[in-house]
Structure formats: structure tokens, C-alpha cells
Amino acid sequence: MGDMDRGSKPAVLVTGGAGYIGAHTAKALHEQGFFPVVYDDLSSGFREAVRWGEFVHGDIRDARALGETIEAHAIKAVIHFAGLIEVGRSVVRPDLFWDINVGGTMSLLSAIRERGVDRLVFSSSAAVYGQGGRGPLETIPEAAPKAPASPYGDTKLACEWMIAAECRAYGLSAVALRYFNAAGADPSGQIGEAHEPETHLIPLAIAAAIGRGPALTVFGTDYDTPDGTCLRDYIHVNDLAAAHVAALNVELPAGRFEAANVGVGQGRSVLQVVEAVARAVGRPVPHAIGARRAGDPASLVADPGYVRELLGWSAQCSDLDRIVADALRWEAQPAYSTGGRAAGPTARTQPQ
Ligand code: UDP
């Protein structure tokens, strides 16, 4: 595909569009009449996941390349996903997270300021909240205290501050979407979740159940929650993608910064997910009980009231059984894989 297919469609720059949520959003943009221009360095994304619009290989810290891309494709708006996402890694390599997440956002802001782009949608995270003093069954409104439990969460919060100030100073309008637990895959089988290493509950539980991975470890059963395991708000990646399109389309005055939780508003425990995977696969999920994982809050469940008000958006396909069924379809037959990257540096030197 190339600009030939573009016609009069408004072009949207999708940084990190070769990644999991970015690729699903690029598809949603295409379906809604936009022309996605994916900008990605493929450090964790996949070229095979870029199937709609145009692909530009580039580093998010390269303001000049970003500016040239914005100009070359007459970009009208930017959705900014590019960044590092592993909470655990952020604890041991905070420097990388500040450099890529915060430094990258700074470069992007300078590029869009110079080229007069006036709408930005930013990938933020429920990690900006941490557990704070919240009870395990309380949902989280946007005004809840911000107490990130990891450098990852710190960098997302710092980016929000930077973007909010940019809006006030230069008239940009921006929406930060604070994601809860993205899961599932597009039912087409064209794109899905592929992380290296995979650390997320649903893919790991499926891998264990279909015999493609080791038994799952349930990280802690002594939390102050109904069954003792952590509660999370799992949202279908296509619902999340739709929220980005809504955030692009919403009318906002110049200079306005908004932050909204994107979740369903329902907490599911680790054991409930394990049961859902067992139902979908038709076999129990081999699992063992392990220790708590550092940095895991007992519960992260969105209050989705504000996002409904702001964007007119609510989850449509985030029933847990549907999420798991779509994830299972993908895990059983991924259209691309982590390949040599999955096995680490030594694998890269092996013949393909
Ligand atoms: N979890 C688990 N075993 C695993 C991976 C995750 O018990 O192998 C738990 C984790 O402690 C958390 C929930 O599953 O309570 C969701 O974790 P995930 O890594 O999928 O997402 P996160 O909430 O960290 O963004």
C-alpha cells in the first residue's frame, strides 16, 4: 500500500503502530476512513503487523525524521504509542524508559509544534495510579491520587504533564488514554498480541493450556481481594482501538488536555481468567501458586464514567469469554511470531 491508496483520507501518524495496540488502532483508523502512517523502529513491533496505510522506519527520539514524516504525508493528527512497556524492566533500566518514553515524547512534541499538528492522542496507563490508599473493590476515577509503583508509571505520568503543558502553551489539544489491561486480538487473525518476552496473563495461560508453554504461575493468592488473587480490568484490544478513533474525532477547544480511563469497570481475578481460559480451551490450565510479583497492585479497575461522557465511548466486545476466545484463536495460529528475537541475542546469529 502507499499514498496512491490514500485519496482524500486524512492522514494520521501512528507512532509504535507495529505494536500490539498500535496495529489494532491502525486497522480501526483504516476502517473509519483515515490513512494511517505507522512510524516504528521495529524494536518490539512487527513489520507484518503493518497492513494498513504506510510504514516509516524511524526512532521516536528523532525529531527531524518525525518532522519530515509529518510533512511528507500531510499528517493532521498523531496517535503516540511508541515506547517501552515492561514494568519489571523499568525497575532495572529506568534510564531507558526516561530516554525513550519521555525523551521520545519530547521529540514528538517539538516535531508536531513546528508543523502545526493540532491533535494528539497519547498512550497512557493505569500504572499512573498505583494502589495508593484505595480499597481492593474501589474503581478508579481520573482524579484518584497519582502514585506510580514503577519507573514505567512515572514516565507515563511525566509525559502527561509534558503534553498538558504543551497544550496550554501552544494550543495543541490532546487526549491521554489511561489503559487498563489490553487483551484479546482482532477476530480476523491478521494481527494479535506478540511480546518478547511474553509476560501477560492471558497469553501465558493459553500457552500453558494448549501445551505450548510451561505451567502458569499465579502470582500471589494472599491479596485482600475476594479470592486472594489480583483484580484487573481486561479490555478487548479492539475496544481500546475504537477509543483512540473516538479521541481523534472528539471536538475539543485549542489548548485542552484531557485524560480518561479506558476500561470496562469490572474487575476479574487471576483465577477467574484461568477458569475462562480453561472453558475456552476445554482443558484445565496447568498452574501453580507462586509468590507475589513485585510492583503488582492488588486491584486496578477503571471507573469508566468519564470516558463515556467525554468520548461517547464504552466497551462493546470486552466480555471476558469473548476476549479469551479471540486471544485463543490468535495464539493457536499467530500470523507472525517473535522468531529469532524471542530466544535472545544468540538466536539472532543463527541462520533463518
Ligand atoms: N499474573 C500471574 N501470572 C503470570 C502473569 C500475570 O498471576 O504469569 C497476574 C499478575 O500478577 C496480575 C495479572 O495477572 O495480577 C495481570 O498481569 P499482566 O502481566 O497480564 O498485566 P498487568 O496487570 O501487569 O498490566
Structural domain span for residue 322: 9-331
Q: What's the residue count for the chain?
A: 352
Q: How far apart are the CA of 293 and the centre of ligand 1, in A?
A: 8
Average pLDDT of the residues in 268-276: 98
Ligand 1 atom nearest 126 alpha carbon: 25
Q: How far apart are the CA of 240 and the centre of ligand 1, in A?
A: 19
Q: How far apart are the CA of 217 and the centre of ligand 1, in A?
A: 10
Domain membership of residue 302 (yes or no) is yes
Mutate to test the pocket of ligand 1, among 85, 152, 198, 219 (most ligand atoms within 8 A of CB): 219
In this prediction, residue 297 carries a pLDDT of 86
Mutate to test the pocket of ligand 1, among 87, 217, 275, 293 (most ligand atoms within 8 A of CB): 293
pLDDT at 343 over 50: no
Residue 142 contacts residue 259 (beta carbons within 8 Å): yes
Can 170 be counted among the known catalytic residues? no
pLDDT at 344 over 50: no
pLDDT in tens, 159-196: 999 999 999 999 999 999 999 999 999 999 999 999 88
Ligand 1 atom nearest 202 alpha carbon: 20
Domain membership of residue 346 (yes or no) is no
pLDDT in tens, 93-146: 999 999 999 999 999 999 999 999 999 999 999 999 987 778 888 999 999 999
In this prediction, residue 134 carries a pLDDT of 84
Ligand 1 atom nearest 290 alpha carbon: 7
Ligand 1 atom nearest 183 alpha carbon: 20
Q: How far apart are the CA of 181 and the centre of ligand 1, in A?
A: 9
3-state secondary structure of 294: coil
**Ligand 1 neighbours by CB, cut-off 6 Å:** 181, 199-201, 204, 216-219, 230, 232, 270, 293, 296
CATH number of the domain enclosing 296 = 3.40.50.720
Mutate to test the pocket of ligand 1, among 216, 296, 323, 324 (most ligand atoms within 8 A of CB): 296
Mutate to test the pocket of ligand 1, among 124, 179, 200, 320 (most ligand atoms within 8 A of CB): 200
- Crossing angle between the packed helical segments 20-31 and 237-249, to the nearest 10 degrees: 60
pLDDT in tens, 230-256: 999 999 999 999 999 999 999 999 999
Domain membership of residue 350 (yes or no) is no
User: Which residue's alpha carbon is at the smallest distance from atom 6 of ligand 1?
Assistant: 201
User: Which residue's alpha carbon is at the smallest distance from atom 18 of ligand 1?
Assistant: 200
Grid cell in block for residue 65: 525524521
Average pLDDT of the residues in 255-283: 98
In this prediction, residue 23 carries a pLDDT of 98
In this prediction, residue 230 carries a pLDDT of 95
Domain membership of residue 126 (yes or no) is yes
Average pLDDT of the residues in 250-274: 98
Integer Cα distance of 331 and 204 in angstroms: 10
Burial code (b: 16+ CB inside 10 Å, e: under 16) for 194-222 equals beeebeebbbbbbbbbeeebeebebbbbe
Please write down the long-range contacts of 36-40, taking CB distance under 8 Å and 24 or more positions apart.
36/11, 36/12, 37/11, 37/12, 37/13, 37/69, 37/73, 37/75, 38/14, 39/13, 39/14, 39/15, 39/66, 39/69, 39/82, 40/15, 40/16, 40/82
In this prediction, residue 3 carries a pLDDT of 57
Backbone angles phi, psi at 79, to 5 degrees: -115, 120
Domain membership of residue 342 (yes or no) is no
In this prediction, residue 346 carries a pLDDT of 33
pLDDT band at 350 (very low <50, low <70, confident <90, very high): very low
Domain membership of residue 345 (yes or no) is no
pLDDT in tens, 277-335: 999 999 999 999 999 988 788 999 999 999 999 999 999 999 999 999 999 999 999 99
Number of domains in the chain: 1
In this prediction, residue 352 carries a pLDDT of 27
User: Which residue's alpha carbon is at the smallest distance from atom 14 of ligand 1?
Assistant: 201
Domain membership of residue 129 (yes or no) is yes
pLDDT band at 351 (very low <50, low <70, confident <90, very high): very low
In this prediction, residue 319 carries a pLDDT of 97
Q: Which of 129, 152, 223, 234 is catalytic?
A: 152
Ligand 1 atom nearest 127 alpha carbon: 25
Mean per-residue pLDDT of the chain: 93
pLDDT in tens, 2-17: 555 688 999 999 999 9
pLDDT band at 90 (very low <50, low <70, confident <90, very high): very high
User: Which residue's alpha carbon is at the smallest distance from atom 4 of ligand 1?
Assistant: 201
Integer Cα distance of 174 and 231 in angstroms: 30
Domain membership of residue 338 (yes or no) is no
Q: Terminus-to-terminus CA distance in the chain, angstroms?
A: 27
Residue 270 contacts residue 341 (beta carbons within 8 Å): no
In this prediction, residue 347 carries a pLDDT of 31
Tell me, rounded to whole angstroms, the distance of Cα 169 from its chain centroid.
28
